[in-house]
Amino acid sequence: MSPDAIGIAGTALTVHRKWLDAIADNIANANTATRTSDAAFQARYIQAQAGEGTSGVYVSGVQLGDATGRVVNQPDNPLADADGNVRYPDIDLAEQMSSLILAQRGYQANAAVVDRAKTSYEAALQIGRN
């Protein structure tokens, strides 16, 4: 196991946590209505980039979704305009759920790497003591 396995996996844990946070925010706001004169909630999409050499991975930026969203006719909505329309974000829940599963599994895999590296390092220390 690489001497920097914990550090590299740790950077991936951070990226996956930020990805999970963005997905959770997107899902939580998928049904957030706004006035048609206002911008819709903009979904966040995390951009990751490999570090130099073996330094792991990091978040290189956040791309925002379309603020146009989709206009829905809901005359009973208190935010409706004169025509009875409100604006919702254009967030695909199926896509977000698929991304959620990928991000969770990536996080779990990197947490397992940290755990196994820790176990290996502890075994190496035990050998040194005997």
DSSP3 helix / strand / coil % (the chain, rounded to 5): 45, 20, 35
Residue 21 has pLDDT above 60, yes or no: yes
pLDDT band at 4 (very low <50, low <70, confident <90, very high): confident
pLDDT band at 72 (very low <50, low <70, confident <90, very high): very high
Q: Which two tokens stand for residue 106?
A: 């990536």
Global pTM?
Answer: 0.84
- In this predicted structure, what is the pLDDT of residue 2? 53
Q: Domain limits at 29? A: 5-129
Q: Quote the number of domains for the chain.
A: 1
Residue range 43-56, pLDDT digits in tens: 999 999 998 876 88
Instruction: Write the DSSP assignment of 66-78 as a string of letters.
Output: -SS-EEEE-TTST
Rama region for 49: left / alpha / beta (φ>0; ψ in -120 to 50; rest)? beta
Q: Which of residues 49 and 126 earns the better pLDDT score?
A: 49
Residue 32 has pLDDT above 80, yes or no: yes
- In this predicted structure, what is the pLDDT of residue 56? 87
